[in-house]
Structure 1
């Protein structure tokens, strides 16, 4: 895994430009031209600089993947950050350039999973991103527009910087769903506020425990495991699920009221136990047969041992061939937040015995930590 935190970055250079000249928005090229004609000065970059200033001490620990020019690279380089440019926007940039960059970022994320997409703009920018971004990519907005009704924005640019700083320092941030909202600018100019929901995106949130799993202000293992189990049951649905070893996975089997091999690997289909304590060859045979009939196969694994192994300790039945057969996107990693915190920032470990596969598995992954509760956490390989 790269030692650097991979963060997508995008700036709408004209975000908020209509506010100072009473245009009540900045959506559309015509509005931008009118605002500039009225003497408006772009201020979005100043808002971004407030957030990025907090990250300058960590410049060597962050890889920003961004568009060229005013949509990203210029601002980042001016503040001393190295950039990985993957998209060339038009000058001046348009909404179609936001779409184009997000599409390019989605392609990039297939090879190197992103920890976050950090963007600056207003509700129009959030709408454009929501329409194209991969649902597995967490996002966080730096507020820079006239209209900020969407829940995907930090309360201030500095707050956005603080949250990214937490990620760089390995602190756990829950992932939550937030609404993308926008209003009709034309109606707004006539004094009518007409808001509409355009979807939702996943955002990082301050580390917090859901009220139902608190016990004396701390995680209650029993309740947390029940919440994790409920989420995994929803995720596996009616697929064929390979259930790895460990007590966290055992909690899922308990919720399903199925017998479980604590130190082995079982197979569940249609939420019924179909095979227990399977060997590597048996697992491959079941998955091959299921896929041949069009059934989706998933793999549920947890953190084994104090060093943070996901693969390679206590689950050698999960061979490289099996993992490739199931596919990385169908792997569900589960762990309590207290377990992750006990690693003190060390990454999870993939030690499958196949160096190439270990590298493919490496990156920032979603870990199920509760019901509708996830964190992004690094997974690395021994090399």
Structure 2
């Protein structure tokens, strides 16, 4: 029997679809913009697949919104090791949950959150001098650490099927600098993580030149009358520069026939800006291959379903990632997106890469 400790950060990822690029110190603003919790649904999806695995699971969790609700909704009768002090949860609650999981001798700490939650879990284990394996259900806006499964479903499968672990990095970024367009990652901890094909890599920062690619794409966009939803990242930022846009390097901008309709837009602003024909332009994350679900939650399933998709990337980036990945939060849409995708890699050249 596998003993799994589940902790959910109920506010993780709330800032994504409303364009806040994170939730650190922004919970009230996210709620004001209409944000809804994301991690509970993703935890529930992981638990549904955990429950269907051949090996029997004894599930430990923390009370209320930090895992108990999702565990019971998924059909488990969990051992509840404690309860948050108040309605608003904090990092201290995560620390306490992990400490109690260790006391119970769990085989794995499964957490639903983003990089901040990963740091809280890993640092607690380091303070305790424990090497209990951890695994993240990706639920945050930014997921730079290499301790997450590629999807919630994968997390559920891996939680009972792994038979060995390896040491991986837990990274985090300064969200205020991130909102200003700067990506400054910092190694926060090392953690023991299950070994498997469905564990994501740490996000790579930087890459090769993309000037000719960006210029060619920008020229085609300028000649088109469609509404363009331009995602975040350095490759797309070069396209924005080619269009003469003072865009948001790490946000989503909407452009049509020479006019910026929305800058650093959230989901609702994007939807309100869409026209009769729409095109989403994204670039995969270096080292990971995600085109949806990491840092661009504003480009939500409703936006994607109303749009054509164009993927652009440098040849070097494609050689580093091998495949493309999607994690939109909508399993049916993820399935629709899987298969071969044409990727623009140069002024004229395109390559086929599989979305898995």
**TM-score, structure 2 normalization:** 0.52
- Counterpart pick for 1:85 among 80, 86, 90: 80
Could you tell me how far apart the structure 2 residues matched to 1:197 and 1:86 are?
A: 30
Q: Is the 8 A contact 1:183 1:196 kept in 2?
A: yes
Could you tell me how far apart the structure 2 residues matched to 1:35 and 1:59 are?
A: 39
Rg comparison, structure with higher value: 1
Match of 2:351 in 1: none
Could you tell me how far apart the structure 2 residues matched to 1:136 and 1:179 are?
A: 14
Q: 1:24 Cα deviation (Å)?
A: 0.6
Could you tell me how far apart the structure 2 residues matched to 1:158 and 1:202 are?
A: 20
Match of 2:5 in 1: 8
Q: Is the 8 A contact 2:133 2:193 kept in 1?
A: yes
- Counterpart pick for 1:175 among 165, 185, 189: 165
Q: Is the 8 A contact 2:55 2:160 kept in 1?
A: no
Match of 1:226 in 2: none
Could you tell me how far apart the structure 2 residues matched to 1:59 and 1:118 are?
A: 18
Q: Is the 8 A contact 1:8 1:118 kept in 2?
A: yes
- Counterpart pick for 2:124 among 127, 132, 136: 132
Q: Is the 8 A contact 1:117 1:140 kept in 2?
A: yes
Could you tell me how far apart the structure 2 residues matched to 1:192 and 1:206 are?
A: 31
Q: 1:176 Cα deviation (Å)?
A: 0.3
Could you tell me how far apart the structure 2 residues matched to 1:59 and 1:96 are?
A: 34
State the secondary structure of the residue aligned to 2:124. Answer: coil
Q: 1:52 Cα deviation (Å)?
A: 1.5
Match of 1:156 in 2: 151
- Counterpart pick for 1:21 among 10, 18, 23: 18
Matches within 5 A, 1:1-383: 4-28=1-25, 31-58=26-53, 61-89=56-84, 90-109=86-105, 114-133=106-125, 134=128, 135-167=130-162, 173-206=163-196
State the secondary structure of the residue aligned to 1:131. Answer: helix
Q: Is the 8 A contact 1:52 1:161 kept in 2?
A: yes
Tell me how large the CA RMSD over aligned residues is: 1.7
Could you tell me how far apart the structure 2 residues matched to 1:63 and 1:137 are?
A: 16
Q: 1:60 Cα deviation (Å)?
A: 8.7
Could you tell me how far apart the structure 2 residues matched to 1:178 and 1:57 are?
A: 27
In 2 relative to 1, CA 43–59 (structure 1 residues): closer, same or farther, beyond 3 Å? farther
Could you tell me how far apart the structure 2 residues matched to 1:78 and 1:20 are?
A: 25
Q: Is the 8 A contact 2:17 2:35 kept in 1?
A: yes
Q: Is the 8 A contact 1:67 1:85 kept in 2?
A: yes
Q: 1:49 Cα deviation (Å)?
A: 2.1
Q: 1:115 Cα deviation (Å)?
A: 1.4
Could you tell me how far apart the structure 2 residues matched to 1:145 and 1:191 are?
A: 18
Q: 1:107 Cα deviation (Å)?
A: 2.4
Q: 1:58 Cα deviation (Å)?
A: 4.7
Q: Deviations over 1:59-107 (max 9, x none)?
A: 9921111100010100000110110011111312111111121222222
Q: Could you list the runs of 5+ residues in structure 1 that have no partner in the other structure?
A: 168-172, 208-383
Could you tell me how far apart the structure 2 residues matched to 1:64 and 1:188 are?
A: 36
**TM-score, structure 1 normalization:** 0.48
Match of 2:340 in 1: none
In 2 relative to 1, CA 77–59 (structure 1 residues): closer, same or farther, beyond 3 Å? farther
Q: Which runs of 4+ in 1 moved over 4 A?
A: none
Could you tell me how far apart the structure 2 residues matched to 1:6 and 1:23 are?
A: 36
Q: Is the 8 A contact 1:44 1:121 kept in 2?
A: yes
